[in-house]
């Protein structure tokens, strides 16, 4: 087994452990976040290796990891929104006299999403998908011209280099008012960040620097996309809430997000 496979197996193990932690305690925000991030990390590594892998292997692994993350995506979104509202309540305690009602409402909605996520885990047999990810990686064969470890490492070096150049160019050309472009650059940054972090040590590149710069872009553009997503979610919750005071509070927080 080569070093690349060892890295993939280790990351798959992290996904497995995070899944267990989530199933043991789906009430905890951290277990949801950790599972999503560990899926993203492994997908980032696979993205760097994509063209050295057979298409079927890449699409199956990437698809299974995407399925796992999607099961908890709504749960993660409401956790992020609840934290945003909690920060607002601390920062602007006199904004409303109805923060408590709002958090009761959010906690009720979170419980519904948690129940849905757990039902989807069973329905989609997520545990089997996680087992399959591990098995596929253990049996993974790279394309013929990359089966020599030296050739595979040279491929990774070149792939990271090109991804880094593409990200730098995309960042330099960004119009912050072009949300779609900002979103695409952020996705590129996420993939490169984890690919460089875990595979970069097999190359002669300054992989820590690349990963650090990718994270910086991801965080910067993440704030822009998060404000947009949060504002949309706050408006949706305002539309759905029966309590007029809670609805008004959601809209006030939405206005703060739109002004950022």
Tell me how far CA of residue 10 lies from CA of 166, 208, 236, in angstroms.
28, 19, 39
Is residue 175 pLDDT above 90, yes or no? no
Axis crossing angle, helix 126-138 with helix 99-123, rounded to the nearest 10? 60
What integer is the mean pLDDT of 120-138? 96
Phi/psi at 53 (nearest 5 deg)? -105, 160
Give the model's confidence band at 259: pLDDT under 50 very low, under 70 low, under 90 confident, else very high.
confident
Residue 1, pLDDT above cutoff 60: no
Neighbours of 15 (CB within 10 A): 26
* pLDDT value, residue 111: 97
Over residues 195-254, the pLDDT tens digits come to 999 999 999 999 999 999 999 999 999 888 888 899 999 999 999 999 999 999 999 999
Neighbours of 173 (CB within 10 A): 10
The stretch 95-107 carries a mean pLDDT of 97
Average pLDDT over residues 151-155: 96
Question: For 6-10, 104-108, 175-179, 203-207, which range has the lowest pLDDT when averaged over its residues?
Answer: 175-179
Q: What is the pLDDT of residues 16-51, one digit of tens each?
A: 999 999 999 999 999 999 999 999 999 999 999 999
Using alpha carbons only, what angle is made at residue 44 by residues 5 and 184, rounded to the nearest 5 degrees? Answer: 160
The mean pLDDT of 132-141, rounded to a whole number, is: 95
Question: Is the pLDDT confidence value at 163 over 80?
Answer: yes
d(CA 128, CA 108): 30
If you average pLDDT over every residue of the chain, what do you get?
95
> At 53, is the secondary structure helix, strand, or coil?
strand
Reported as type and span, the H/E element at residue 65 is: helix 55-71
What mean pLDDT comes out for the span 148-173? 95
Residue 92 pLDDT level (bands cut at 50, 70, 90): very high
| pLDDT score, position 156 | 97
């Amino acid at each position: 087994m080569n070093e690349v496979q060892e890295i993939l197996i280790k990351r798959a193990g992290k996904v497995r452990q995070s899944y267990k932690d989530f199933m043991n305690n789906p009430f905890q925000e951290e277990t949801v976040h950790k599972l999503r991030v560990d899926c993203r990390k492994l997908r980032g590594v696979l993205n760097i290796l994509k063209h050295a892998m057979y298409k079927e292997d890449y699409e199956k692994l990437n698809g299974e990891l995407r399925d796992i993350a999607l099961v908890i995506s709504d749960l993660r979104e409401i956790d992020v929104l609840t934290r945003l509202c909690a920060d607002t309540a601390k920062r602007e305690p006199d904004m409303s006299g109805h923060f408590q009602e709002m958090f009761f409402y959010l906690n009720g909605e979170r419980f519904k999403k948690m129940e849905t996520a757990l039902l989807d885990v069973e329905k989609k047999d997520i545990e089997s998908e996680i087992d399959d990810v591990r098995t596929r990686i253990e049996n993974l064969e790279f394309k013929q011209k990359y089966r020599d470890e030296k050739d595979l490492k040279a491929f990774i070096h070149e792939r990271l280099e090109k991804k880094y150049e593409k990200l730098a160019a995309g960042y330099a050309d960004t119009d912050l008012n072009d949300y779609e472009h900002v979103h695409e650059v952020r996705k590129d940054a996420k993939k490169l960040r984890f690919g460089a972090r875990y595979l970069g040590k097999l190359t002669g590149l300054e992989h820590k620097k690349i990963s650090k710069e990718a994270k910086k872009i991801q965080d910067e553009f993440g704030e822009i996309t998060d404000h947009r997503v949060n504002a949309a979610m706050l408006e949706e919750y305002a539309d759905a809430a029966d309590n007029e005071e809670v609805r008004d509070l959601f809209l006030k927080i939405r206005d703060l997000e739109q002004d950022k």
